[in-house]
C-alpha cells in the first residue's frame, strides 16, 4: 500500500495510492488536493509538500497533467505550457526540412541586406536597424491548429490530451489527474474514456480520478464527516482498536470490519453511516467498526441496541 502525505499551508491529508486511484464523490477537499498535486509538480514556487514514508517525492521523476472537468484544448493559441506545444515543435521541425523553407531564408537574407539602404532614413537620429535571422522556431508564431470536426465535445478534448500524453517520451513516470469526467459526458462516452484509461494503465501510466460514477479497479479514498477516509487510515488505528476492544477480537475480525466499512462507505455515500453499520449481524464486527470510526475522530450517534451493558458503557466514553 502506497500513501502520499499532501501538505499545504491550510491542510494535510494522507491519500491511498495505486496505479489508478479514485477520490470518490464531489467534494472541495478533492478539488484542493488535485490542484495541490498539480502545483507541486508543475509550479516551481509551490509551497505544497508531498512525501511518501516521510521522503519527499522527487518532482524531476514525474510528468503530471491535470484534466479539469471543463478542460478544453486551446488549438489556436499554443503557449509553452500547452499540451500541443511538443506537437507544434515536431510540426515546425518537419516544415524546416522543406526546400521552401530554405528558399524563405534566402529571401529573408536579401531583406536583411536591404537594411543598408533603409538605414539612411535613421541617420538623422543617429540610429540604425537590424533584422535578425529567420529561424525554424520563428515559424511557431505563424501557425495555429484547426480541428477537422465541426465541434469538439468535452470528451473529445480529454481524449485528445490523453493521446498527446501517450506520444510523449516516457522517460519519466506519468501521472494524470482527472476531475469529474462524468460531467458533460454520456454513459457511452464514459465507457470510451474508461477503455482508454485501462489501456494507458497497461503502459505504466498513473491516474488519480475524482469521480462519483467511473467504475474502475482502483484504490479508493472517501470523504466521511469532512475527513479523508481510506484503507490506510483504518490500518493506522488497528493496533489500538484490537487492544482496546473489551470483548476481544482477532486480526481476521478486524479485516472483516475494515472490508465491510469500506463497502458501506463506497456503496451508500449519502446514507447515515452508523445506521447502516447497525445492520451488521455480528456484534464484534459492528463494535470494531464503531471503534474504528471513533479512533478516526468521526463522531456520530451510535445505535447500541442489543449490546451488553458493559459494552454500551465502554462506547459512551470511547
What's the pLDDT tens digit per position in 260-276?
Answer: 999 888 887 666 666 66
β-bridge mates for residue 210, sequence order: 23, 179
Indicate the residue among 116, 151, 186 that finishes a domain.
Answer: 151
Mean pLDDT of 97-113: 94
**Are 46 and 188 in a shared domain?**
yes
- Domain membership flag for residue 162: no
Q: Give the pLDDT band of residue 147 (cuts 50, 70, 90).
A: confident
Q: Which domain holds residue 83?
A: 79-151
Q: Are residues 245 and 311 in the same domain?
A: yes
Q: Last residue of a domain, which of 220, 251, 276?
A: 220
- Whether 56 and 204 share a structural domain: yes
Q: Decide if pLDDT at 135 tops 90.
A: yes
The gap from C-alpha 59 to its chain's centroid, in whole angstroms, comes to: 15
Identify the CATH number of the domain in which residue 204 sits: 3.40.50
* In a domain? residue 17: yes
Same domain, 94 and 146: yes
Mean of pLDDT values over 45-51:
95
192 is a domain residue: yes
158: in domain: no
Whether 96 maps to a domain, the answer reads yes
CA-to-CA distance for 297 and 300, rounded, in angstroms?
Answer: 10
Please give the tally of structural domains in the chain.
3
* Co-location of 10 and 65 in the same domain: yes
CA distance 84 to 280: 53
pLDDT in tens, 164-205: 888 876 788 999 999 999 888 888 988 999 999 999 999 999
CA distances from residue 171 to 50, 68, 168, 286, 313 in whole angstroms, order as listed = 21, 25, 9, 48, 59
Grid coordinates representing 26? 464531489
**221-257 pLDDT per residue, tens:** 999 888 899 999 999 999 999 999 987 888 899 999 9
Considering the domain architecture, whether residues 126 and 244 belong to the same structural domain is answered as no
Would 142 be classed as within a structural domain? yes
**Residue 62 and residue 106 in one domain:** no
In a domain, 166, yes or no: no
| CA gap 96, 137 in Å, rounded | 9
Residues 184 and 61 grouped into a single domain: yes
- Are residue 86 and residue 23 in the same domain, yes or no? no
Q: Is 190 helix (H, G, I), strand (E, B) or coil?
A: helix
For 124, counting Cβ atoms within 10 Å of its Cβ (0-12 exposed, 13-18 middle, 19+ buried), the class is: exposed
Report the pLDDT value the prediction gives residue 315, as an integer from 0 to 100: 78
pLDDT-above-90 percentage for the chain: 52
Q: Which has the minimum average pLDDT: 113-117, 173-177, 179-183, 297-301?
A: 297-301
- Which pLDDT does position 65 carry in this prediction? 94
Q: For residues 85 and 60, state if they share a domain.
A: no
| 147 lies in the same domain as 94 | yes
Whether 285 and 253 have beta carbons less than 8 Å apart is answered as: yes
Task: Choose between 209 and 78: higher pLDDT.
Answer: 209
Residue 230 lies in a domain: no
Judgement on whether residues 60 and 88 belong to the same structural domain of the protein: no
Amino acid at each position: 500500500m502506497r500513501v502520499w502525505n499532501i501538505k499545504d499551508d491550510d491542510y494535510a491529508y494522507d491519500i491511498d495510492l495505486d496505479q489508478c486511484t479514485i477520490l470518490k464523490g464531489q467534494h472541495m477537499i478533492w478539488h484542493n488536493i488535485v490542484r495541490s498535486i498539480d502545483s507541486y509538480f508543475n509550479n516551481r514556487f509551490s509551497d505544497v509538500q508531498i512525501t511518501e514514508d516521510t521522503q519527499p517525492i522527487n518532482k524531476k521523476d514525474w510528468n503530471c497533467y491535470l484534466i479539469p472537468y471543463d478542460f478544453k484544448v486551446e488549438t489556436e493559441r499554443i503557449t509553452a505550457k500547452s499540451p500541443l506545444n511538443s506537437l507544434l515543435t515536431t510540426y515546425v521541425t518537419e516544415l524546416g526540412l522543406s526546400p521552401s523553407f530554405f528558399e524563405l531564408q534566402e529571401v529573408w537574407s536579401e531583406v536583411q541586406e536591404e537594411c543598408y539602404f533603409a538605414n539612411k532614413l535613421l541617420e538623422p537620429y543617429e540610429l540604425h536597424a537590424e533584422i535578425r535571422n529567420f529561424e525554424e522556431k520563428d515559424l511557431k508564431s505563424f501557425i495555429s491548429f484547426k480541428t477537422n470536426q465541426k465541434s469538439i465535445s468535452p470528451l473529445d478534448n480529454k481524449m485528445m490530451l490523453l493521446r498527446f500524453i501517450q506520444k510523449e517520451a516516457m522517460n519519466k513516470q506519468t501521472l494524470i489527474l482527472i476531475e469529474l469526467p462524468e460531467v458533460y459526458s454520456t454513459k457511452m462516452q464514459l465507457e470510451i474514456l474508461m477503455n482508454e484509461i485501462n489501456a494507458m494503465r497497461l503502459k505504466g501510466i498513473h491516474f488519480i480520478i475524482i469521480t462519483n460514477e467511473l467504475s474502475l479497479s482502483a484504490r479508493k479514498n472517501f470523504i466521511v464527516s469532512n475527513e479523508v477516509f481510506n484503507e490506510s487510515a483504518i490500518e493506522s488505528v488497528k493496533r489500538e482498536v484490537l487492544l482496546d476492544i473489551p470483548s476481544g477480537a482477532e486480526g481476521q475480525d478486524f479485516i472483516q470490519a475494515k472490508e465491510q466499512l469500506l463497502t458501506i462507505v463506497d456503496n451508500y455515500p449519502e446514507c447515515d453511516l452508523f445506521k447502516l453499520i447497525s445492520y451488521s449481524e455480528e456484534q464484534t464486527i459492528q463494535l470494531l467498526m464503531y471503534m474504528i470510526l471513533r479512533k478516526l475522530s468521526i463522531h456520530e450517534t451510535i445505535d447500541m441496541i442489543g449490546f451488553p451493558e458493559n459494552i454500551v458503557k465502554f462506547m459512551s466514553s470511547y
